[in-house]
Amino acid sequence: MILIPIMMLVLLAAVVGEYIIPERHSRALGAIASGIVLLLSLYLILAFNSMTAVQTTFSVSYISSFGIDLSFVLSNISVILVLLASIVSFAAVIGGNPGGERRRASNALIMLFELAAIGFFTSGNLFILFIFWDVGVVSAFFMINYLGSGGARSSAKNYLIYSIFASALLLFGIMMIYFYTPVHSFNLSTIEASGASIPIWVQETIFALLLIAFFVKMPVFPLHSWMSDAYSDASTQGSMVLSGILSKFGAYGVFILFLMLPISHTYAKYILIIAIVSALYAAFNAMVQSDLKRMAAYTSMIESSLILVGIAAYNSFGSEGAVYGMLAYGLAASLMFLSVGSIEFTFGSREIAAIKGAVKSASASVYSFLIALFGSTGVPITAGFIADLFIFIGSYQSYGFVGLIPIASLVMMGGYLYYAVDRSFLSTFKHSHPVRIEYWHWDMGYAVLVAAIIVFGILPSILIGLR
Amino acid sequence: MYAYVGYLIAALLGLLVISGITFKFNDRRRLLFGTSVTIFAAILIISLVSILYGVDVYLFGLLHIYQFSLLFVSLFSFAFILVEILGYGSDNFELFNMFVGIAAAGVFLVVMAYSILTIFIAIELVSISTIMMIMTGGKRSVESATKLFILSSISISVFAFAMVLMLPYDGTLSLSLLSMNSSIGGDYIILLSMLMFIAALSIDASLFPFNLWVADVYQGAQDYVTPMLSGINKKVAFVALIYILFIVFASYSHISSVILEVVAVATMFFGNLVAMVQSNVKRMFAYSSISQAGYILIGITTFSAYGLEASVFQIFAHVFMTIGAFAIVMWMESKGIRSVDDYKGMEHRNFWAFSSLTLIMLSMAGIPPLMGFFGKFLLFSSAISSGLLALAFIGIINSFISIYYYGKLISSMLRDTDKGFFYLGRNVRIVVYLCLIAIIAFGVYPHPLLSVISKSVSSLIH
């Protein structure tokens, strides 16, 4: 598939271009580059079903002494995730940081991150996958550290320590996979074919190492403590891509882990337990937050846990639901962070109590926030509904009523959020005064994300029908 | 016919030394600089071409010019060009140039040695000229020079004693497999000799128990000498270590492997943990270069062709990274920017310095797609392929620890400041450019370098 490297080259050129052009053209350049990528990924979705196996693969020799190819494979999972990455990045670039400060650096980092995400989701080779993983991690570090606000330095440090720890474990696991597969290969397809011949103790070790690495990124309960600070202190664009794309790195990783190692399915039920604990934990945490952005962060953690429930179900409904959930929740989470960032900019505060009656002066942001909320809680006609439905059908099939416990977290989150929004944003008798006016470019970001959430909610057949 | 290549390189070395010494009395710096750089470039080109043609000649029974040695000749001649560029602006350039010529002769002799005696003499040549070089730096450098002098004399005497212990068993002292090894298999004298060789070279290679001098000497040396100390002198000791352990004591690898494993683990932890608490950036980089020495050792401990390839690749990577990093850091130091806090706002003050230092640090921490990552990847995977899972895991944990102090410095450079633009010298910029090109190019596409290295390594291990 030659289109994947073309997308990457377009993005790479744009990253370099951001350092050459003047600041005022930054958004235009970013919009053009990520727009091209978005169009290409839409084309990929539409053309995917008519492609043959040869057409979905791009491979050139890279380091021949290790048998490492620069190979990109488009599967029915990765094509959806590429679409997610391109939509979120496009929305982030045109929506922009509310204040518009340090625009060039921010857009360059977004596009570098998009490049890493596309490479990560499509790479057919664990070595290449790791390279893109780390590029993504480091560019997200700069989004938090350089562009963030508040306690950005310490949360960036926290984030970096957790992430590099995850990378270290991932690298170690990948190298173990390479040396313990009988044919010594990094190729995903080869490993999938010969995964059963890896000794059991090695499989268990690799499984543990990689699972910890991916859980850090998702993030899931015991390994999440970097998350709330990082998401809330990053720039608006930064938290959009962090919650929308970076957390899906982990979910996709768990997915391919289940494909690679046959031993995974014996541990699926423990993963379900972790997912349930994580979802409930995040829901309780979301309920006590008075800070909008932190609340959004815990909301996205609930969603990560739900994706994990779908993966742990280990059947076709669960997997479909998990993949659809990555898309739906990614879109919802990034829309939520964009609107929260804009509301914060407009009112100069992100305390829920301080934003009374925001609907009057910042209506676009508030309505977008509501749609993001609908998307996260799985209200019909949003994409989140389809994802929830599939995930819970799958987990019911595998685990009976135990598999439905995570619904409680959705109910708790939804109940609290609707109550909070009703009392603050939609309040009709108290009005906080906006500090600044709304900007028009936010609306474009909202439009893209809202359209995506609704279209994929009404017409799931576009994506579900993929082979 | 290939013998001419050997004579040519030897002649160029002689020319280098002679021109360095005679031109010292000439004050036309540009001529000095031009001559030296031209000679180094000529050596670089000759050695690269000879690698491709597979030259393999013995000279005077003392030098062995073949692919493995030529690989390092090319690396070090490139490194010497960088060092020359760095030193060009200094006050003492004539003296510096002369000592660089002598040190280069020593370095190339070590690399091309066919006899332990050659290594002995050449290492002495390198140390003495480096000490003299540091001496010229004035009052504040004398302490460093003295420290280095004492340590090198200890190192060289231990080395001499090790040679003496070996002499009854191997009268030739040539770099070939220790003769009669079957009859002296368990002889403790031989083991003692090997241990003393390791100890002597550990001092120069800054391996664990013998590396406390590193930070002090690096800090005291002039801004154009420190890159050379960590980029060239240290790596030369590694080459000597590889020759002695892989050729002379090849049949004792099961013992030396255990010793080196312990040393590698201790060196990595020592370097990284001490670097974590440093507030002076230069000392931080000094300790981080110690930990890098520990990583390099991982490949040597495996005693396999694959492990040696990994070590050689990491030596290449670290030469570029350390020269680039110290070039910037030493320039900052000379402008009074010393501690991590002083680096505050470097992103505003000089974006180029910030981004190149950041890239170099990310490469040192092993972040892809930079050269340091690929080196570490090779090292750790060579350890896994030899069954040393624990060693690989400790290495990976160490590279995780190192992100703490690199991240601290990056974070500090990103902080806001109201200080104005900061100027970076032109020669520093050129050096860092060249290093960065190497780091990025060989990181993104390591295949050409890797194939050359594996060809050379297979010429060492038949």
Give strand pairing partners of A71: A59
In a domain, residue A160? The reply is no
Distances (CA, A) of A1 to A41, A79, B38: 12, 11, 47
Distances (CA, A) of B435 to A19, A179, B281, B315, B317: 21, 32, 20, 14, 9
In a domain, residue A281? The reply is yes
In a domain, residue B326? The reply is yes
User: What is the count of structural domains for chain B?
Assistant: 1
Question: What average pLDDT does this structure show over B112-129?
Answer: 90
Q: What is the structure's pLDDT at B197?
A: 92
In a domain, residue B123? The reply is no
Q: How many Å from the N-terminal Cα to the C-terminal Cα in chain A? A: 17
Q: Which of B170, B164, B35 is nearest to B104 (CA)?
A: B35
Percent share of chain B, pLDDT over 90: 39
DSSP A439: P
How many C-beta atoms lie closer than 10 Å to residue A19's C-beta? 11
Q: Does B343 touch chain A (CB under 8 A)?
A: no
DSSP A195: G
Helices (H), B54-115: 67-87, 93-111
Confidence band of B8 (pLDDT split at 50, 70, 90): confident
Closest Cα in chain A to B352: A19
Single pTM value for the model: 0.93
Residue pLDDT, tens place only, A399-447? 989 888 888 888 888 888 888 888 888 877 777 777 777 777 888 889 9
Q: Above 0.85 for ipTM, yes or no?
A: yes
Amino acid occupying residue A18: E
Give one DSSP letter per residue of B203-266, joined into a string: HHHT-GGG-THHHHHHHHS-TTTHHHIIIIIHHHHHHHHHHIIIIITGGGHHHHHHHHHHHHHH
In a domain, residue B445? The reply is yes
* Kind of pairing between the strands at A57-63 and A68-73: antiparallel
Q: What is the structure's pLDDT at B432?
A: 93
In a domain, residue B281? The reply is yes
Does A156 contact B385 at a Cβ distance shorter than 8 Å? no
Q: What is the structure's pLDDT at B178?
A: 63
Per-residue tokens: A184: 């010594």
Smallest CA–CA separation between A156 and chain B, in Å? 8
Phi then psi for residue B109, to 5 deg, are -65, -40
> From the list B362, B384, B397, which residue is nearest A179 (CB)?
B384
Is the distance from CB of B193 to CB of B162 less than 8 angstroms?
yes
Q: Which of A382, A352, A379 is nearest to A449 (CA)?
A: A382
> From the list B381, B400, B445, which residue is nearest A168 (CB)?
B400
Distances (CA, A) of B215 to A364, B152, B232, B283: 59, 15, 16, 5
Q: What is the structure's pLDDT at B183?
A: 52
Question: What average pLDDT does this structure show over A178-182?
Answer: 88
Q: A90 or B7: whose pLDDT is higher?
A: A90
In a domain, residue A467? The reply is yes
Percent share of chain A, pLDDT over 90: 37
Rg, C-alpha atoms of chain B: 21
How many C-beta atoms lie closer than 10 Å to residue B89's C-beta? 14
In a domain, residue B38? The reply is no
Distances (CA, A) of A451 to A245, A332, A367, A446, B294: 18, 11, 13, 8, 54
Q: What is the structure's pLDDT at B288?
A: 92
Tell me which of B396, B402, B408 to substitute to probe the interface with A (most A C-beta atoms closer than 10 Å): B396
Residue pLDDT, tens place only, A248-298? 999 999 989 988 888 888 898 899 999 999 999 999 998 888 888 888 899
Smallest CA–CA separation between B3 and chain A, in Å? 31
Residue pLDDT, tens place only, B180-199? 454 555 577 888 888 999 99
Q: Does B403 touch chain A (CB under 8 A)?
A: yes
Is the distance from CB of B304 to CB of B274 less than 8 angstroms?
no
Confidence band of B12 (pLDDT split at 50, 70, 90): confident
In a domain, residue B187? The reply is no
Instruction: Kindly tell me if the per-residue pLDDT of A467 is higher than 70.
Output: no
Residue pLDDT, tens place only, B291-333? 999 999 999 999 889 999 999 999 999 999 999 999 999 888 8
Question: Is the link from the previous residue into B368 a cis peptide, with omega within 30 of 0?
Answer: no
In a domain, residue B90? The reply is no
Q: Could you list the residue range(s) of the whole structural domain that residue B277 is in?
A: 252-462
Q: What is the 3-state secondary structure (H, E, C) of B289-304?
A: HHHHHHHHHHHHHHCC
Does B392 contact A175 at a Cβ distance shorter than 8 Å? yes
In a domain, residue B119? The reply is no
Is the distance from CB of B263 to CB of B208 less than 8 angstroms?
yes
Closest Cα in chain B to A145: B411
Smallest CA–CA separation between B447 and chain A, in Å? 5
Nearest-angstrom CA–CA distance, A127 and A246: 18
Length of chain B: 462
Instruction: Kindly tell me if the per-residue pLDDT of B234 is higher than 60.
Output: yes
Is the distance from CB of A402 to CB of A308 less than 8 angstroms?
no
Phi then psi for residue A76, to 5 deg, are -70, -20
Nearest-angstrom CA–CA distance, B378 and A419: 55
Is the distance from CB of A252 to CB of A279 less than 8 angstroms?
no
Residue pLDDT, tens place only, A73-126? 888 888 999 999 999 999 999 887 777 678 888 899 999 999 999 999 999 889
In a domain, residue A287? The reply is yes
Nearest-angstrom CA–CA distance, A263 and A139: 33
In a domain, residue A461? The reply is yes
Residue pLDDT, tens place only, A235-255? 888 899 999 999 999 999 998
B381 CB neighbours in chain A (<8 A) are 175, 178-179
In a domain, residue A152? The reply is no
Closest Cα in chain B to A181: B385
Nearest-angstrom CA–CA distance, B359 and A51: 40
Q: Could you list the residue range(s) of the whole structural domain that residue A382 is in?
A: 267-467
User: What is the count of structural domains for chain A?
Assistant: 1
Instruction: Kindly tell me if the per-residue pLDDT of B20 is higher than 80.
Output: no
Smallest CA–CA separation between A266 and chain B, in Å? 25
Q: What is the structure's pLDDT at A361?
A: 79
B451 CB neighbours in chain A (<8 A) are 65
3-state secondary structure of A69: strand
